[in-house]
Structure 1
Amino acid sequence: MITAIEFGSQQSILNVREWDLYSDVFTSASFLIPALFFLLLYRLRREERSLLYLGGFCVASMVYVQSC
């Protein structure tokens, strides 16, 4: 089993599932938006390697959080 069994009415289980989906989308967006920002800044100033590393870290963090 991957997740725990949920008990309750069908509507309450769907509500919990919907809130979990919203939470995942919000978490992905909160990592993806800064990642795109830093990668675009790196594209403008290629000598600033730290922007590339920070953008890559944001992308890697998003993948890690979504895979857990």
Structure 2
Amino acid sequence: MKLKVIIHEAEEGGYWAEVPAILGCATQGDTFEELLSNLNEAVAACLSIDLAKIEISERDTVLVV
């Protein structure tokens, strides 16, 4: 999956980024490398779900793509 990310230089130094395709998904980093690492974690967290909170019947199948 490819996502477009908008990277901003923070006024106080460092960077922050937002992922417009995922509402509320944003992160920051003091360096560009830290930002990229944090961005990967943020996207994974924003896309993760807790299956315990979803009603799944025995006729349903959960598929990870």
> Which structure is higher in RCO with an 8 Å CA cutoff and minimum separation 6?
1
Bigger proportion of residues as strand: 2
TM-score (norm 1): 0.37
